[in-house]
Amino acid sequence: MPAYKKSHRVDLRRHDRNKPILTATRRRVALARQAIESDPKSLQSAEALQGAIKRLAQAATKGVIKKNNASRRISRLTKAYNKAIKPA
């Protein structure tokens, strides 16, 4: 069997395994950003932020995204949240 066929099958399996994790991560990050923009001081936005951080860390642990990518995105989300709740 040619190697490219096997590697293609492996790629498809990895794609099927990673897709739901990546989709859930994107959804949580989008919800967190939306909550921060709408009402940053509510409990809902803090919970959304924690959910997004948890999903990003999980995706990095499972190898779906790289560790530094997750860290950077967590940092940016936290920075946006802290800026939003800071009194003007």
Q: What angle do CA 39, 42, 51 make, to 5 degrees?
A: 95
Q: Which domains does the chain have, with CATH numbers?
A: 13-85 (1.20.58.110)
Alpha carbon distance 64, 47 (integer Å): 23
Read off the pLDDT of residues 46-65 as tens digits, 9 standing for 90 and up. Answer: 999 999 999 999 999 999 99
- Which pLDDT score is estimated for 49? 97
- Percent of the chain residues past pLDDT 90, beyond the cut: 94
Q: Provide the pLDDT confidence category of residue 88 given band limits of 50, 70 and 90.
A: low
Reported confidence tier of residue 79, pLDDT bands at 50, 70, 90: very high
Distance in angstroms (rounded) separating the CA atoms of residues 65 and 31: 19
Give the pTM.
Answer: 0.89
pLDDT of residue 82: 95
- The distance of Cα 28 from the centroid of its chain, to the nearest Å, equals 7
